[in-house]
Amino acid sequence: MRTTVGIIGAGPAGLLLARLLHNAGIDSVVLESRDRAYVEQRQRAGILEQGTVDVLRAAGAGERMDREGLRHDGIELRFGRRRHRVDFPALTGGRSVMVYAQTEVCKDLIALQLKEGGPLLFEAEALAVEGADSDRPAVRFRHGGREDVLECDYVVGCDGFWGVSRRAIPAESARVYERAYPFGWLGILADVAPSHDELVYARHERGFALLSMRSPSVSRLYLQVPADTDAQTWSDEHIWDELERRLETDDDWTLERGPITQKSVTPMRSFVHEPMRHGRLFLAGDAAHIVPPTGAKGLNLAVGDVATLAKALVHRLRTGSEELLDAYSDRCLRRVWQAERFSYDMTTMLHRAPGATAFEERLQLARLERIATCRAAEADLAEGYTGFPLD
């Protein structure tokens, strides 16, 4: 089996890259270890930056997003029972974000790939990337009970943190930067209309809480919990009670409750692998970097990676120049580190760290007060949240 670009992983990064290459007339094959139902149902991110929205529209994958997605022009910060709204368009020259779940992005891209694109093989487990530093790299994979080899001109690893792609880069050629946080997010999906029309980020002495949504009738909410928490030890009533405490305000706002349909705990960590390229192997998305979800950056960073890489591959195959491919890692990492910084700042500002001192807690409140009273600080948050430039 042979193709120009072999893509490992059918998450949003791999699927979008395949779509961008297809639109440019470049063939690819996508290998995904899970089945289609799993890919279309796994709950992940739900906030699309302005740049991500623009890329999906330009790729021809934005029709349903524009019809069903929820444009948001701001977020609300809560601290000390107070509420402060951050107005994105007023602070960023008109940018906003879109609430549209990663599951829906994947559904749209899968449908397009199966209808118009190259091969998309589900339940095709990548076993190894071979010859990454040669001019004939290959992916050894298992599909339909037998092993096969996908020969490529280029291999792109979009297979997440635990995938095989990153392992093909020699340890002596790489540097890894990481931080583990001593808390996680207990997340729920609930069949109840959101209690606010925009996302609410709450800093509370009991811990962080986030009010989000997936649709006008489905709420997505999160609670800061210890990192080793088992979600099943929290009853539905306990979850709603704790959300109510942490989201409380001094006005008449109320939290609407409803049936919880899903609960799980998400670990919190920051991770960056440098470089994002080795020979003809390129890393994109979670294979190269992880951010805590507080800043809503994970999916958007993946889109930035593959938009940059698609442009570089098209340039190489049309002109013969390696200039943009050679610059891929450095260009992406500039954006990645800004997103890491933003996500770290949001996380440390809003979460109560175990053993935090009274001094540290007062600093958190001072940072929030600064955003609420200083337009420059507020604009910095708005610019980071709506997205750093893709290139």
Question: Quick check: 227 and 267 in contact, CB under 8 A?
Answer: yes
Domain that holds residue 222: 181-268+351-386
| Pair 204, 166 in one domain | no
Pick the catalytic residue: 273, 292, 293, 311?
293
Question: Nearest 5°: phi and psi at 20?
Answer: -65, -40
User: How far, in Å, CA of 123 to CA of 190, rounded?
Assistant: 30
User: How far, in Å, CA of 266 to CA of 291, rounded?
Assistant: 12
User: How far, in Å, CA of 271 to CA of 288, rounded?
Assistant: 8
Task: Look up the CATH number of the domain holding residue 213.
Answer: 3.30.9.10
181 annotated active-site: no
Structural domains of the chain, count:
2
| Pair 204, 309 in one domain | no
Does any domain span residue 86?
A: no
72 annotated active-site: yes
Pick the catalytic residue: 100, 154, 181, 201?
201
| Pair 169, 191 in one domain | no
pLDDT of residue 305: 98
| Pair 195, 255 in one domain | yes
Distances (CA, A) of 113 to 21, 32, 139: 11, 13, 20
201 annotated active-site: yes
Distances (CA, A) of 12 to 61, 106, 109, 155, 164: 11, 6, 8, 16, 18
Does any domain span residue 89?
A: no
Single-letter code of the amino acid located at 354: P
Task: Look up the CATH number of the domain holding residue 274.
Answer: 3.50.50.60
Does any domain span residue 92?
A: no
| Pair 326, 236 in one domain | no
The three-state secondary structure class of 63 is helix
Does any domain span residue 78?
A: no
* CA-based nearest residue to 305, from 274, 329, 341: 329
pLDDT of residue 41: 87
User: How far, in Å, CA of 81 to CA of 74, rounded?
Assistant: 19
| Six token digits for residue 29 | 């094959």
| Pair 41, 106 in one domain | yes
| Pair 64, 200 in one domain | no
Does any domain span residue 256?
A: yes
| Pair 262, 368 in one domain | yes
Does any domain span residue 50?
A: yes
| Six token digits for residue 36 | 């289609």
pLDDT of residue 257: 97
Pick the catalytic residue: 72, 273, 278, 311?
72
Does any domain span residue 104?
A: yes
Does any domain span residue 83?
A: no
pLDDT of residue 42: 79
- The series of mean pLDDT values per 10 residues for the chain, 391 residues long, is 97 97 97 94 85 97 96 97 97 96 95 95 97 96 96 97 95 96 96 97 97 93 96 97 97 96 94 98 97 94 98 96 97 97 97 94 97 98 92 67
| Six token digits for residue 41 | 């149902």
| Pair 64, 170 in one domain | yes
| Pair 328, 375 in one domain | no
| Pair 154, 112 in one domain | yes
| Pair 316, 340 in one domain | yes
| Six token digits for residue 76 | 């609300």
